Chains A and B, each alone.
Chain A
Amino acid sequence: MKTYKQPSTVGRFGEFGGMYVSETLMPLLLNLDKSYKKIQKDKKFKKELNDLFKNYVGRPSSLHYAKNLSKYINGPKVYFKRDELNHTGAHKINNCLGQILLAKKMGKTRIIAETGAGQHGVATATVCALFGLPCYIYMGSKDIERQKPNVFRMKLLGATIIPVESGSKSLKDAMNEALRDWIKNVRDTFYIIGSTAGPHPYPKMVRDFQSVIGKEAREQILKVEKKLPDYLIACVGGGSNAMGLFYPFLNDKKVKIIGVEAAGRGAKTEETAATMTSGTPGILHGSYSYVLQDNDGQIKEAHSISAGLDYPGVGPEHSHLKDIKRVKYFGVTDKEALEAFQTCSKLEGIIPALEPSHALAYLMKAFKNKHKNKVVILNMCGRGDKDLFTAAKAIGFDADE
């Protein structure tokens, strides 16, 4: 394999990606791309971001050897890259800090964002509070209902939540509305996209800001194991935590990489979010990538118990990595994820978010009694506090008692 160098200057990962937006947004994206290129070379920017990573987020996040879980699986040595320990409880803050610093540099005075599980919304509201910028979060009304703790968090942080009632009332529609807001308020507004989705330069920018996860993990594993991991596993919705972990390892041919999607009630059912298992290439939110769509190209509604994975698209880079077979993608059902959610809590004393519970479920299923003497890093990208009510309901526990 040649050295991995994606995307192209116009935002192509192989054939995927690009900028499929109306002319109202095009000049803005080109300007954003230019500004982003400029700050990448800016040492002061880098220093500022690293300081925030260290002192505000609490980076580096630890690499925890999950001994009990490893024993239970009776397979490889499993390490958790613990980005759930970050300030705000998930990996999302890494990207938000990067983007808000950029917004500041560009002189923008108003921040908007979309959110599904609420983690990106919370992270955006957090950095807006820190930098004193007004914050507007678009969130599907279905997600507002199932992620109440995060809604309250965002409000405490001073953000305005704008409920989205259109379409499936979840992440996809929140992103449509946020894009509309941006078109309407182009002059003063910066749109912080939370995933490696959307038009160029977002997929690249978000990946770059998140790749601190993989960079740290690489150093940490080399220190404790004296070798690179044999496997990386992460959950994939839009794909930001996974790209963050995967990216610094893409040139390490021996490292096998696995992305786990939410299959909802099953990848072959209509109630799924397993875009790469069940989808076909199409255009959604300004980017060409795998999407769940019908024969006429109408985007289907996704389903997953995890609001963070409930998205009918996936980042263009994941689409590319699938097609060049560098990363393999598998689906895990709601039920399997819920089981893994409970097992991990009991065995490791770590309550994972429902998103990484999908990655855990795949690990427990596919590595059971296999791959002994191998080393796996799993991205524990979020903590489960926000999912307690959803999980309790699904498991049949009355949390109000």
Chain B
Amino acid sequence: MQMNNLDTLPKKKILSLFMTCGFPTLSQSKKIFNEMLSHQPDVIEFGLPFSDPMADGPIIQEANKLALSSNLSTQQSLNLIKELSKSKNNTSFVIMCYLNTVRKFGVDKFIKSIKNIVDGIIIVDLPFEEESEIKKSLSKNNIHLIKLISPMTDKKRAQKLLKGSKGFIYYISATGITGSNKLDYKEINKNVKSLKKMSKIPVLVGFGIKSKKDVLEISKKTNADGVIIGSALIQKYFDLKMDINKYLIDLRKFITEVKV
């Protein structure tokens, strides 16, 4: 079995970049991911577009809608990820998706398609209570099921969720949907510290991280091992009036900046 890149994440200052597959179009999406890959971030999260992304904010929903407007299929997204994996090197590939996408594709077929390509998967709406079956097949294929922990998750529940978990812990920094609310560093630090006592794997903070400043503050003011940036990357595309060439230049600048 191949090595899982998530098992060799650096100890500190981990950078994970999220981007919706097929956004804004399939061919432009490839350019965007190639740009991201050229920076060799520690993790790239591939969002599989879903018509009803209820745990995501309006920016990612809009990205999903754009991607789906050209009838992008799950298979096309998976093909794209496979193609990109040829130049993944040490970058961990993680898929972020909703359960209906996996179920409809076929759980076994899905796992088979991403085996040896993808290191981890976040199924946003698959709670701990429902995960056992999928988790087993994933683990057989050396794909880590990444756990989300929210500020609402109490200690007892977090312990249950994190038992035997691998890869990293995705800590949702704001009690909010992706790309909203302000960051409360004190609360983040308190919760991250508590999580680090429960598990040895890195804790990444996501949701609401928008700038180099946010990245530095997280690193300075909290005990987190890294950050996840998603909505902010996508927002730029809309800010630049959907000009893909300008966007690619801006993306390069932004990633260079946040890669501290």
Contact = CB atoms under 8 A, between A and B. Distances in A.
Interface stretch (A16-24, A151-159, A264-272): A16-24
Nearest to A284: B52
A293 interface: yes
Contacts of B157: 27
A357 to B, nearest CB: 28
Given A19-B130, A293-B104, A297-B101, A184 B74 contact: no
A46 interface: no
Interface string B163-186: 000000000100111001100000
B150 A23 contact: yes
Interface in B54-70: 54-55, 57-58, 61, 65, 68
Contacts of B74: 296-297
Contact of B127 (A19, A180, A184, A298): A19
A282 B100 contact: yes
A23 B127 contact: yes
Contacts of A248: none
A66 interface: no
Given A23-B172, A26-B127, A299 B51 contact: yes
B103 A184 contact: no
A129 interface: no
Interface residues of A, number: 33
Contact of A283 (B68, B103, B147, B175): B103
B73 interface: yes
A295 B104 contact: yes
B105 A283 contact: no
Contacts of A179: 54
Contacts of B3: none
Nearest to A31: B152
B55 A21 contact: yes
Interface centre among B55, B58, B101, B161 (most CB of A within 10 A): B55
A285 interface: yes
A166 B61 contact: yes
A183 B61 contact: no
A286 interface: yes
Interface string A1-27: 000000000100000001111111111
B51 A180 contact: no
A221 interface: no
B80 interface: no
Nearest to B124: A22
Nearest to A21: B125
Interface string A294-320: 011111000000000000000000000
A22 B125 contact: yes
Contact of B176 (A167, A183, A286, A293): A183
A104 interface: no
A296 B73 contact: yes
Contacts of A295: 104
Given A20-B130, A180-B54, 9 more contacts: A22-B55, A22-B148, A26-B128, A167-B65, A184-B176, A187-B175, A282-B100, A296-B101, A296-B105
Interface of B: 50-52, 54-55, 57-58, 61, 65, 68, 73-74, 98-101, 103-105, 124-130, 147-150, 152-154, 157, 161, 172, 175-177, 180-181
12 contacts: A22-B127, A23-B148, A26-B153, A27-B150, A27-B152, A167-B51, A293-B100, A293-B104, A297-B74, A297-B100, A297-B101, A298-B50
Interface of A: 10, 18-28, 166-167, 172, 176, 179-180, 183-184, 186-187, 282-286, 293, 295-299
